[in-house]
Structure 1
Amino acid sequence: MKGPLRKQQLLPTYDRDVDGRSAKWCIDWYFHPEAGSRIEALWRAWEHHRLDGATGMSVRWKDHADHDMNVLLDPRSPFPRCAMKAHRDPEHLEPKKAPAGWFPDV
Structure 2
Amino acid sequence: MADDGVPDFDVPVGLFEDLEDLKAQVAALTNQVKVLSGDASDGPGEGEAPAGSESDAGEEVAEDGADEDEWQFPPFILLLDPPEYDDELRALVEWVEGVLVPGYLAEPSADARWCHLWFEHPVAIARLHALWLAWQELTDPATCGYTGPSTWHRDHLDPCMLQLRGSGGPFAGCTKGEHQIDHRMPGIVPSAWRMSDD
Query: Structure 1 length as normaliser, TM-score?
Result: 0.78
Per-residue Cα deviation, 1:52-96 (whole angstroms, up to 9, x for no partner): 241011111110011101211112221121113421122412565
* CA apart distance, 1:48: 0.7
Kindly report the root-mean-square deviation, in angstroms, between the aligned alpha carbons of the 2 structures: 2.0
Identity between Structure 1 and Structure 2 (%): 30
Q: Which runs of 4+ in 1 moved over 4 A?
A: 94-98
Structure 2: where are the runs of 5+ without partners?
Answer: 1-88
Residue in structure 1 matching 2:186, options 74, 87, 93 = 93
2:181 counterpart letter in structure 1: D
- Larger helix fraction of residues: 2
Residue in structure 2 matching 1:67, options 159, 163, 183 = 159
Aligned counterpart, 2:8:
none
Residues 32/96 of structure 1: CA separation in 2 closer, same or farther (3 Å cut): farther
Structure 1: where are the runs of 5+ without partners?
Answer: 101-106
Secondary structure of 2:98's partner?
helix
Query: Structure 2 length as normaliser, TM-score?
Result: 0.45
Residue in structure 2 matching 1:4, options 73, 94, 97 = 94
| Structure with the greater alpha carbon radius of gyration | 2
